[in-house]
Structure 1
Amino acid sequence: VGIITPTLIMGSALGLQSEVPYLISMALFVSGLGTFVQARRFGPVGSGLLCLQGTSFSFISVILSAGFMVKARGGGTDEILSTIFGVCFFAAFIEVVLSQFIGKLRMLITPVVTGTIITLMGLSLIKVAMTDIAGGFAAADLGAANHLALAALVLGTIVVLNRVDVPFLRLGAIVIGLTLGYAVAWLMGDVNFASLPDLPLMSVPVPFKYGFSFDWVAFVPVAVIFLVSPLEAAGDLTANSMISRQPVKGPVYIRRIKSGLLADGLNSAMAAVFNSMPMVTFAQNNGVIQLTGVASRYVAFFIAGLLVVLGLFPMIGAVLQLMPKPVLGGAELVMFGTVAVAGIKILAEAGLHRRNMLIVAISIGMGLGVAAVPQVLRELPMALHNIFESPITVGALCAIVLNIFLPEEFIELEEDDFDPEASILQVMENPPVPDAAAGRNR
């Protein structure tokens, strides 16, 4: 689901329905190749761990911005996709370079910057989820009761399964919710398999099938995400190493992280070549390893082969494309909300003292403000307008600049930070022990 959902969202939002089956096939195909590269390890490329590679939700908002920009100037399907994949190809080499300087990158892109950007990613995608819940962008009956009921069924199923004590049900909550929603939609007559397109039995991967284009305006927001992506991937690889009982410090660990990030960047470039969105290491992978106790990279070889084979059959993508928008929207709401909460968690762990709160408040306010009132950019030159209409770009630039120029502060309890209720509660929970000697003196 994590591999194909970003492609489904992109195809639906940009009106690329005719290409979605092929794009889904390529997402599966490239995920298989990327997983094999990570596990097999070719020289300095690859972590040598069981790391499932897949298309990333982090890039959806900036890729949609690029697609809408090309579409607004009259670009057709080929121009939209050639620009998206051309931009992603060049931007991927940012991660390739940064993979060798991950320590220095952490000094510039601190947790307060990363958390702000990830929070903005999730919040900016909520509109997409709610639109799909209501029936999709082009729905004539937007907001109809049957659409809301389908989305509620999927959302409710995911919530219930996430609260059960069976680990496999919790891990598969989104898949089960989507499957149940799809089945109910079919019973309601909302899925018509007779409309499946006449597709070839197998898809042949064609490098840059839609052509190759580049646009600086579209490049900037994508490049911003590739600045953050290595830090997320480093955390996932560290967790994977820990669960797999591999070193998490020392030269072996550092070499593994650099090799894994280098593979991430090269896999993203390869994904663009084969008409797919950028690749990342899936964090969900760590939960499965911990649950099953299986961390052998030979399992990764099997999974990689399976994904490559599935990617050769476009009918799989065609069937998934028929999934009603409200079914997908119910799951999207959870997934995008989870992205936002992950950012908030990073911010909380970074410490929301006065300096960090100022950075977060201004950055998120600017990002969401531009998204809510795009007319504020009306007087800017068109090139700047197109760059800053992305909430991710605006928020990220604000966070990075403020983080550089606002001085670090000594964190101490100040008068306006004092919470009397919290202090009383602490005293009640941890009452002072009476001094026995003082008692005798009284």
Structure 2
Amino acid sequence: MSAPDAFSRPSELIYGLEDRPHFSAALFAALQHVLASFVGIITPTLIVGGALGLQSEVPYLVSMALFVSGLGTFVQARRFGPIGAGLLCLQGTSFAFLSVVLSAGFMVKNRGGGTDEILSTLFGVCFCAAFVEVLFSQCVGKLRKLITPVVTGTIITLMGLSLIKVAVMDMAGGFGAPDLGAPLNLGLAALVLLTIVVLNRFDRPLLRLGAIVIGLGVGFVAAWLLGKVDFAALPQVPAVSLPIPFKYGFSFDWLAFVPIAVIFLVTPLEAAGDLTANSMISRQPVSGPLYVKRIRSGLLADGLNSAMAAMFNSLPMVTFAQNNGVIQLTGVASRYVAYFIAAILVLLGLFPMIGAVLQLMPKPVLGGATLIMFGTVAVAGIKILAEAGLHRRNMLVTAISLGLGLGVAAVPEVLASLPPALHNILESPITVGAFSAILLNIFLPEDPDDGEHPFEPEASILEVLQDPEAHADAVPPARPVGNASH
């Protein structure tokens, strides 16, 4: 059975890529896409805002995250010249950048920077770094020796593992909470965790797709009944929030730029997997010139959408994978549905009260959900490593890189004697692990005795992009997780 057949059997398409569903069908399908992706879009902003003490700006930042996700989704589906994959693929803020964005934010905060300086630096650096992905999209096939599956898998695993500390801290009550580790906090987190796990075990696709949303809702109601939610603390926000380009200013810092730029080299590989899976489900080619053009256009849109997100005061964006499951569920692959998704997200983004209410969500409730999300990111990296082949050489690359990255995170004092500039760059575990994996992958020779690993794929995404004719039957592995990686 071919790969496309495997995807099409469970759910025959009712509307193909270029079909135009009637209004009610398109709206219903769009609402399911928004439901499946809503938490992934807003959660990174809630985490960054809470961790960096930016509570007064969180409602506006959440609004902008929804707004730019709508614009990015429209760009990907509509296509503007060479920009956009032309698929029903949803754009949203990425979990992959959380660790490096938090490191950059704390760097500015520790030197006395206020809210405006923190945000101007974050968005200024993300704007510039987004063009790393823009350049990557134009030469993606030529970089396969530099960014290989073992490098990608190592970095993604490190992302997930380094973020678990954030989730566990939230489960305990959040950094600086007076009741840190209280049984009530852990109980709320456990309730959310258990709800998500139970719903994921059901056979009904709608319950699985909405598991995180429902879990957060159950936790929020329970916390409210237990007196953990104070609606009197709801901040005063305007009825409508209009996007203001670089509202907090524009600043640039090389020390913050390097780690973020590294992640912009990795996320295109994840996005390529998601776009490939989307093409398969939509019954589009997954080899040949059209496929290669679609991937490059999609990655170019990813990079430009991230630059647009920074301009409109939001975190970098990436192509989500969650909506691939919604396409299978609904049988609707029409890219015109993305116009409805974009309109819904843009409208939601204009009302900051949504962000103000979400800001009241207790940290233990959020932590119960993000523990699963971050753990899933780590498992996605492990899956890529298994597919790459964990023979002796790759095990060395992975073991050393994970050891260095997690070691710096656990014992930051190891960098105490380094010059300040180098210390600030290497204090991010993602940067240390990424540089280690890339350098080892370049200079550590292949061992001919290792042979082919039984789980090694026939061709990586980059190999297919570089020479589509030589790999006409190869299908790149799709990323199993969405943005929870994203």
The TM-score with structure 2 as length reference comes to 0.84
Within 2, Cα distance between the matches of 1:124 and 1:278? 19
Deviation, structure 1 residue 13: 0.5
Partner of 2:45 in structure 1? 7
Matched, 1:393 2:431: yes
Matches within 5 A, 1:50-129: 50-129=88-167
| Letter aligned with residue 6 of structure 1 | P
Matched, 1:197 2:235: yes
Whether the 8 Å CA contact 2:392–2:450 is kept in 1: the answer is no
Partner of 1:433 in structure 2? none
Per-residue deviation, residues 196-239 of structure 1 (Å, max 9, x unmatched) = 11111000100000010000000010000000111111111011
Matched, 1:158 2:181: no
The TM-score with structure 1 as length reference comes to 0.93
Within 2, Cα distance between the matches of 1:125 and 1:206? 30
Partner of 2:349 in structure 1? 311
Describe the SS at the equivalent of 1:170. helix
Deviation, structure 1 residue 288: 1.1
Describe the SS at the equivalent of 1:71. helix
Within 2, Cα distance between the matches of 1:370 and 1:317? 34
| Letter aligned with residue 13 of structure 1 | A
Matches within 5 A, 1:127-142: 127-142=165-180
Matches within 5 A, 1:247-326: 247-326=285-364
Partner of 2:283 in structure 1? 245
Whether the 8 Å CA contact 1:162–1:169 is kept in 2: the answer is yes
Per-residue deviation, residues 159-188 of structure 1 (Å, max 9, x unmatched) = 111111111111111111001000111111
Whether the 8 Å CA contact 1:134–1:144 is kept in 2: the answer is yes
Within 2, Cα distance between the matches of 1:116 and 1:143? 31
| Letter aligned with residue 261 of structure 2 | A
Per-residue deviation, residues 123-147 of structure 1 (Å, max 9, x unmatched) = 0001100000000012001000110
Within 2, Cα distance between the matches of 1:187 and 1:166? 29
Within 1, Cα distance between the matches of 2:286 and 2:237? 48
Describe the SS at the equivalent of 1:149. helix
Per-residue deviation, residues 315-349 of structure 1 (Å, max 9, x unmatched) = 00000000000000000100000000000110011
| Letter aligned with residue 141 of structure 1 | D
Provide structure 2 residue ranges, at least 5 long, that are not aligned to the other structure.
Answer: 1-38, 453-486
Matches within 5 A, 1:346-361: 346-361=384-399
Matched, 1:379 2:422: no
Matches within 5 A, 1:328-343: 328-343=366-381
Matches within 5 A, 1:212-251: 212-251=250-289
Whether the 8 Å CA contact 1:29–1:309 is kept in 2: the answer is yes
Within 1, Cα distance between the matches of 2:99 and 2:451? 39
How many pairs were matched up?
414
Within 2, Cα distance between the matches of 1:106 and 1:307? 35
Distance 1:189 1:216, change over 3 A: same
Matches within 5 A, 1:172-187: 172-187=210-225
| Letter aligned with residue 186 of structure 1 | W
Partner of 1:42 in structure 2? 80
Q: Percent identity?
A: 81
Deviation, structure 1 residue 293: 1.2
Within 2, Cα distance between the matches of 1:291 and 1:338? 22
> 1:171 pairs with 205, 209, 214, which one?
209
| Letter aligned with residue 404 of structure 1 | I
The structure with the greater share of residues assigned to helix is 1
> 1:27 pairs with 51, 59, 65, which one?
65
> 2:446 pairs with 405, 408, 431, which one?
408
| Letter aligned with residue 194 of structure 2 | G
Describe the SS at the equivalent of 1:384. helix
Within 2, Cα distance between the matches of 1:59 and 1:193? 31
Partner of 1:206 in structure 2? 244
Deviation, structure 1 residue 105: 2.1
Whether the 8 Å CA contact 2:137–2:300 is kept in 1: the answer is yes
Within 2, Cα distance between the matches of 1:149 and 1:299? 40
Within 2, Cα distance between the matches of 1:282 and 1:413? 35
Moved over 4 A (4+): 411-414
Within 2, Cα distance between the matches of 1:181 and 1:20? 20
Describe the SS at the equivalent of 1:280. strand
Within 2, Cα distance between the matches of 1:12 and 1:393? 23
Within 2, Cα distance between the matches of 1:233 and 1:172? 22
Distance 1:84 1:309, change over 3 A: same
